[in-house]
Amino acid sequence: MENKLDGNAAAGTLQEIFPFEMTLVQATCTGCGTTNAIGATAVYMHGMGTVIRCPFCDTVLIRVVHAKGRYWLDMRGVRVLQISAEA
């Protein structure tokens, strides 16, 4: 069972970890090299956590699991994360 959502849905989870406006953070995909705002990615939420995929090639960019008081962040699909430090 999984629900496909837009990237804004993942921002809430990432916001618990990063102190930045996560919908505006840009991730460069290791699969196809495109750079997408987190808010424009494809997100799948299911029992195991949140999976953020590239909207172009479907590579898994980020996987987040929140369990047993810890966050598990798998970012192997992200080549570069661009974070604006301006509010």
- Of the candidate residues 8, 24, 31, 74, the single one contacting Zn ion (CB under 5 A): 31
| Interaction of residue 54 with Zn ion, rule CB under 5 A | yes
3-state secondary structure of 82: strand
CA 14 vs CA 3, 19, 57: distances in Å: 17, 9, 22
- Of the candidate residues 12, 16, 32, 80, the single one contacting Zn ion (CB under 5 A): 32
| Interaction of residue 8 with Zn ion, rule CB under 5 A | no
CA triplet 86, 28, 31: central angle to 5 degrees? 170
| Interaction of residue 57 with Zn ion, rule CB under 5 A | yes
Of 34-53, binders to Zn ion (CB under 5 A) are: none
Q: Which residues bind Zn ion (CB under 5 A)?
A: 29, 31-32, 54, 56-57, 59
